[in-house]
Amino acid sequence: MKVLLNETDLHAGVSRLASQIDDHYQGQPLTVVAVMTGSVVLFADLIRMLSLPLRVGVIQASSYRGQAKAGELSVDTQMLLDVRNRDVLLVDDIFDTGRTVAKLMEVIAVQGARSVASAVLLRKCRAHDVALRPDFTAFEIPDEFVVGYGLDYRDQYRNLPFLAVLEPHEIDANTDGVPANGAIYPKP
């Protein structure tokens, strides 16, 4: 596993992201919605850095389900709070194909939000499946499979305090989700 962004890099990027959001909304109330589960670490750090009046909520979306490539998107809005007539910021971990962010922004708009914007920790440098681009992005990264800081592979690695690229042999994990080589998480 190769470290792509260390803890210091991540903190600085999230801080820049918070400043951009604060500048954009200029003290106006904001409803911030986290895409579960990958954005949970980013979400916790980001909302503590924002200086706006906030309401927070979550929405569940999944397209990977233990795979290294995205599949069909599943959305669960049961935990989404009332967003009618609110300015909403959707927070996701990564903008890969773009389908998840685009679909969730559409779902939130249909719920009656006054406006919907998106913030992501990572945007992959690649062709995206949608024309939409995130309104706020902390980092642009190469088109590689990354884990850590909330991102996972087969429910592993979310707890890493840094962002790392999985090597091909690390993606070939056992079916029980344990890394194939039994690797110990590296120190950044």
Return d(Cα 184, Cα 170) in angstroms, integer.
11
What pairs with residue 21 in β-bridges? Answer: none
Q: Which residues of 67-85 are buried (b: 16+ CB within 10 A; e: fewer)?
A: eeeeeeeebeeeebeebee
What pairs with residue 89 in β-bridges? Answer: 32, 117
Quick check: helix, strand or coil at residue 48? helix
Please give the structure tokens belonging to residue 157.
């690695």
Q: Which residue has the tokens 């200029």?
A: 26
Task: Considering the candidates 45, 93, 96, 152, report the single residue annotated as catalytic.
Answer: 96
Quick check: helix, strand or coil at residue 83? coil
State yes or no: is 96 an active-site residue.
yes
Q: Are 35 and 59 in contact (CB under 8 A)?
A: yes
Residues marked as catalytic: 96
